[in-house]
Amino acid sequence: MERIETTILKNLLHNEEYVTRVIPFLNEDYFSSSTDKIVFSTIRTFIENFKGQPTNEAIIIDIGNRNDLSEKQHTEAVDLIKELNDLQEFKKPSNMDWLIAGTEKFVQEKAIHNAVMESIKILGGEGKELTKGAIPDILSKALGISFNRHVGHDYIEDINERFDFYNKNETRIPFDLEYFNKITGGGVVPKSLTIAIAGTGVGKSLFMCHYAASCLMDGRNVLYITLEMAEERIAERIDANLLDLPIDQVKDLTKDIFDNKILGLKKQTSGKLIIKEYPTAAANVAHFRGLIDELRMKKNFFPDIIFIDYLNICSSVRLRAASTVNSYTYVKAIAEELRGLAMEKNLPVISATQTNRIGFASTDPGLDDTAESFGLPQTADLMFALVSTEEMDGLNQIAVKQLKNRYNDLNKPKRFIIGINKPKMQLFDVNESEQTLNDSGKKGVDIPAFDKSDFGQAMFTEKDFRNWEIDDE
């Protein structure tokens, strides 16, 4: 039976497609035999210098020209090359994918073995430059090795893939709220960051708890990370939402009734919900990534969607919070890291942020009302404001204003109303007749505005151009 090392070397000599797909991932250290190492390094040098496969004769000559080999090493290397099939005898494998997969497995196993051996040396004090703190990174890199065959989209050649992309149904996680589905085209997509912005007490956490509960009952695996409230407080809000009870009545349920209600919910969904708390400003994407990996190993759980409550009280994995780092840079770094996590894990991340002092009192907040950093809206894929007034509080409603939308047209619709039941921690659709917000975000006739600057003016009526009023906001 032929050794995998021999198969690799043989195909490096005679199989152009194989070389293109595997040479970036092969390393001399993956070959255990010193003779294999010599032959491989000579072949790789030829390929890198001359952009093609060498003949057996060319490799023999190159080995003969090396002055770093002993006579014994030279003889053994030449004998190995002679054992390899020449071009006339070589038969291209009938299943190239099988050969590539076998090579990938060989590389992965060798990389892990080498990483473990290097870690043992470091633990034994033999590492001259590396400390024990480098071991996790060494192992992580070895475990992460894979043959990434995608080298870019060929605009002319890859038209079929592009056409299929245009016409495929993208995986989305829907809302149970009609207008949110309307503005997102059916829900949030993987590799995206969604941000809700609102003042204190308006309903940021309520929105995330409601959406998390909806995803759970839709059969999704949900990970809810909280840096503001305790795990039990988040669970209590979701209990109120799903049990359809005012939150202050949840604790009054008897144990038997509570157990039966939760058992009833369990029968209605195949999804799971994990709630994890971290100290405020003490956790970053490295902690979240580790949590995801730990949940996969210990509970066989991988989330379909992640909620982080909330972004501004996370820490950055790249920057230290200090006087030398301004809030714009720091919060933008956190947003970029969370979006990077969404892309890495192929899932949507939902979070929230506060309005600044001006935005807190405004019924028509904009992107510039984001607290601490305008870099956050620059990074988000979907961003919307939750707005509450005394009038809407009396009607159990809140307004939603789109601020940024990579899914759909930002103005269809720009604003809409949803119902809110704060005691039960629930959101709900309202009748279409109640969707009457004017351009300033207030209840009333929809009046167009042509200037949103500080000195901007809005029409008093659509037909009367003589009456103007200054927008104090």
Q: What is the pLDDT of residues 85-106, one digit of tens each?
A: 654 455 666 678 888 888 988 9
Could you please report the per-residue DSSP string of 381-420?
Answer: SEEEEEE--HHHHHTTEEEEEEEEESSS-TTTTSEEEEEE
pLDDT at 352 over 50: yes
Predicted confidence at residue 154, as pLDDT, reads 85
Q: What is the chain's mean pLDDT, rounded?
A: 83
- pLDDT for position 191: 92
Give the strands of the sheet with 222-226, arranged side by side.
273-277, 222-226, 305-309, 349-354, 193-198, 382-387, 397-405, 415-421, 426-428
> What pLDDT, in 10s, does the model give residues 217-259?
999 999 999 999 999 999 999 999 999 999 999 999 999 999 9
Lowest pLDDT segment from 202-211, 317-326, 330-339, 460-469: 460-469
Buried/exposed 344-374: b ≥16 CB within 10 Å, e otherwise: ebebbbbbbbbbbeebeebbbbbbebbbbbe
Phi, psi for residue 305 in degrees, rounded to 5: -155, 145
Q: At 42, which amino acid appears?
A: T
Q: In sequence order, what are the beta bridge partners of 256?
A: none
Mean per-residue pLDDT for 384-407? 90
Coil, helix or strand at residue 165: helix
- Examine the pLDDT at 437 and tell me if it is beyond 70: no
Domains in the chain, CATH or no CATH each: 4-143 (1.10.860.10), 178-437 (3.40.50.300)
Q: Quote the tokens at residue 235.
A: 């669970």
Contacts of 77 (CB under 8 A, 6+ apart): 35, 38, 39, 42, 63, 69
| Choice between 458 and 87, residue whose per-residue pLDDT is larger | 87
For residue 113, report the phi and psi dihedrals to the nearest 5 degrees.
-60, -45
Residue 453 identity (one-letter amino acid) = S
